[in-house]
Structure 1
Amino acid sequence: MTTNERTGDATSEVESGEEEEVLGGGELAAHLIKSGITRNEMIAAITNRLHAEAMASLPPNVRRRIRALRTLQKEFADIESKFYLEVHALECKYERMYKPLLEKRAQIVSGAYEPNDAECVNPWRDESEEEELARAVQNAAIAEGEEKKEEKEPAEPPMDPNVKGIPDFWYTIFKNVSMLCEMMQEHDEPIIKCLQDIKVQMFEDPIGFTLEFHFLPNDYFTNTVLTKEYSMKCKPDEENPLEFEGPEIYSCKGCEINWKKGKNVTVKTIKKKQKHKSRGSVRTVTKSVQADSFFNFFAPPQMPDDPNSTLASDTQALLTADFEVGHYIRERVVSRAVLLYTGEGLDEDDDDDYEEEEEEECSTEESEDEEPAPRKRGKKQNKALQENPAECKQQ
């Protein structure tokens, strides 16, 4: 069924979307299901179709005025893009002002600088409650140690009161922030404990930023700094200018990690059984595949050279998630690190444990070595503060 142009207005015209053949609601749903798109994409397509039909039902002169409003909206988007460019320039300016503070923070965390008494005063906080809680925790630890001594069980050594800096500062943040904790696997933890600092470098022309992850010398790779570069755009798209919502990341670039022999945590070896077609004999072969790891963050999917090319849905999903992580680290993690370490600045999603989900059985033609189950976040901060990095070579 095709839409009919309404009569009664000499200036009326049918928009391009109204000239196309339109499927009925049920036919549209069936068509979308056959196309293999996801449920959310199908709902979005049907919703857009309903909105288009609502607009098509309006009188031609009203549709004409709506087109005029769209023109005004386009001009609004052009002005808005200039506003965001000026905001980004301000961010670059203030990033230079933040830099000395962040450098001092890094020195305190690493133990290179010991703050004086005046720098340790927080007049807006009541420290008595925190000190009382600290004494209670210490007394509980002593009591627990005595119980374990009676049971002849080895007790975990307490943190050295003369320790330098703040041990496991960034590792504790990774444990506390759900987005980062989900990315960090058990085999990543010894490396994350060697993370000294995360820095942000802002760029004005073209606009973008680079995340720098600074590491102590460790047993896993020779790099001292791992980088992730994000390119941004702040201009309405020529084909869809009304979709402009401000600056957006459109591409990213990781870096090569120089892994030491046998220490690459992003690769795992699996065993696969192969059956000969004629003889029926079975042989076992091994192959290397990608393993879940935070350090896959530094090897994002390759972006096509043509900016107008269409990405596969799974690649697009990976890039979208990557952009969200990069933006979150820049906006929240680097600027509010101490509050994420103490738990004061955690979002509600970070502060709640995940519920267990039912496991589903699946069959596969391949026989692989058993892999450890996905890790769940448990008691985050206390455990994280007690563990010490054995693999880092403190400087």
Structure 2
Amino acid sequence: MEADSEAKVRRRVNALRNLQVNSTHIEARFYKEVHELERMYSALYQPLFDKRRKVVSGEVEPTDEECEWQSDPEDEAALAEELKKKAAIEEKTEDANEENPKGVPEFWLTIFRSVDMLSDMLQDHDEPILKHLQDIKVTFSGPDQPMSFTLEFHFEANEYFTNSVLTKVYKMKSEPDSDDPFSFEGPEIIDCEGCEIDWHKGKDVTVKTIKKKQKHKGRGTARVITKQVPNDSFFNFFNPIKVSPDKELDEDSEYTLATDFEIGHFFRERIVPRAVLYFTGEALEDDESFEEEELEEGEEEDQDDEEEDDEEEGDSKPPDAPQPAECKQQ
């Protein structure tokens, strides 16, 4: 009789599991519609981002009315000083172009330098190239296409490569796994695809040339050969690790790919929509405050756990035995 009751309960639990599976499929539809909303609203944001690009590049000079901004005088002074450092604008210079800089010099390069996640990838030889970066855009896949988003890095004509736009496509999945539907937590990046950079001769910063001395075993003569080897560079970002369904990645490759996905998401969610705040450092302060709050909450939880452990240990200890009286010296 008891076994029969347990079987009935298990049967009902299985029905609840099926309801949960149906719920995950509805959730997947929700995220697909969110993606479509993002695509629709990106068209509304784009005119503002286009205006930002024109101001940054110096193509458009904003009006006095557009430049009005109420802020604390001390904050303004600090910002002015910071901008001098970031944009490398000297107050006294013989160059008239530097006295009246075009647009906002080194806007995107300054952001790269300021954001830890990006500065970790940045090398000295990347900086002259990124001075030519004019804009970063995010585009979303259409309603009849597999879910994805694309980062577009727009460059002015330069001496390093012929591309005017470098792209990175992030492919996403928003479907519950048939083998493990309960693991679904929303869209996830599953793969990414870069682009080929058409480097001018001798300007490819993703490789370096090394010289190696070879000695002939029989003759004893030596010769020097040159070979190209990979070089650390931000521009390796456009040549990501290839994901193969038939081959498992090693631990280092998995970490590299996960970091790549995180960077792509950060560009999409933070850098592109809030670029000026990362340039001024205001967004960095917000990010740091958020991290500090998370850390404090984590520390409090750890402290609470320790106190609970101490209480449990205290409850399990027997009462302290009376201490023997001290021996008096004769």
- Which TM class, normalised by the smaller chain length? 0.7 to 0.9
Q: Is the 8 A contact 2:160 2:204 kept in 1?
A: yes
Q: Classify 1:219/1:315 alpha carbon distance in 2 versus 1 (closer, same or farther; 3 Å).
A: same
- Structure 2 distance, partners of 1:337, 1:301, is 27
Are 1:74 and 2:14 counterparts?
no
Amino acid at match of 1:116: T
Partner of 2:226: 286
Shift of 1:296: 0.4
Shift of 1:313: 3.4
Shift of 1:286: 3.1
- Structure 1 distance, partners of 2:268, 2:110, is 18
Q: Classify 1:268/1:350 alpha carbon distance in 2 versus 1 (closer, same or farther; 3 Å).
A: farther
Partner of 2:109: 171
Q: Classify 1:187/1:64 alpha carbon distance in 2 versus 1 (closer, same or farther; 3 Å).
A: farther
- Structure 1 distance, partners of 2:80, 2:282, is 20
Shift of 1:115: 0.7
**1:122 maps to which of 69, 73, 91:** 69
Q: Classify 1:283/1:332 alpha carbon distance in 2 versus 1 (closer, same or farther; 3 Å).
A: same
**1:189 maps to which of 96, 110, 127:** 127
User: What TM-score does the superposition give when structure 1 sets the normalisation length?
Assistant: 0.63
Are 1:231 and 2:178 counterparts?
no
- Structure 2 residues without counterparts, runs of 5 or longer: 84-89, 293-330
- Structure 1 distance, partners of 2:200, 2:75, is 43
**1:9 maps to which of 3, 22, 31:** 3
Partner of 1:44: none
Partner of 2:52: 105
Amino acid at match of 1:189: E
Amino acid at match of 1:90: L
Q: Deviations over 1:92-119 (max 9, x none)?
A: 1110000000000000000011111111
**2:34 maps to which of 80, 87, 111:** 87
* Higher RCO (C-alpha under 8 Å, 6+ residues apart): 1
Mapping of residues 139-154 of structure 1, within 5 Å: none
Q: Classify 1:131/1:345 alpha carbon distance in 2 versus 1 (closer, same or farther; 3 Å).
A: closer
Shift of 1:159: 8.1
**2:196 maps to which of 256, 262, 280:** 256
Are 1:295 and 2:235 counterparts?
yes
- Structure 1 distance, partners of 2:15, 2:220, is 72
Question: Which structure has the highest helix share of the two?
Answer: 2
Q: Classify 1:264/1:189 alpha carbon distance in 2 versus 1 (closer, same or farther; 3 Å).
A: same
Shift of 1:178: 0.5
Tell me the C-alpha RMSD between the 2 structures. 3.4
Partner of 1:218: 158
Count of aligned pairs: 280
Q: Is the 8 A contact 1:178 1:350 kept in 2?
A: no
Are 1:266 and 2:191 counterparts?
no
Q: Is the 8 A contact 2:79 2:280 kept in 1?
A: no
Shift of 1:207: 1.6
Are 1:341 and 2:288 counterparts?
no
Partner of 2:266: 328
More off after superposition, 62-71 vs 219-228: 62-71
Q: Say which SS state the counterpart of residue 119 (structure 2) adopts.
A: helix
Amino acid at match of 1:221: F
Shift of 1:320: 1.5
Q: Say which SS state the counterpart of residue 223 (structure 1) adopts.
A: coil
User: What TM-score does the superposition give when structure 2 sets the normalisation length?
Assistant: 0.74
Q: Is the 8 A contact 1:200 1:209 kept in 2?
A: yes
Structure showing greater Rg:
2
Amino acid at match of 2:272: V
- Structure 1 residues without counterparts, runs of 5 or longer: 1-7, 13-59, 139-144, 146-154, 353-395
Shift of 1:319: 1.9
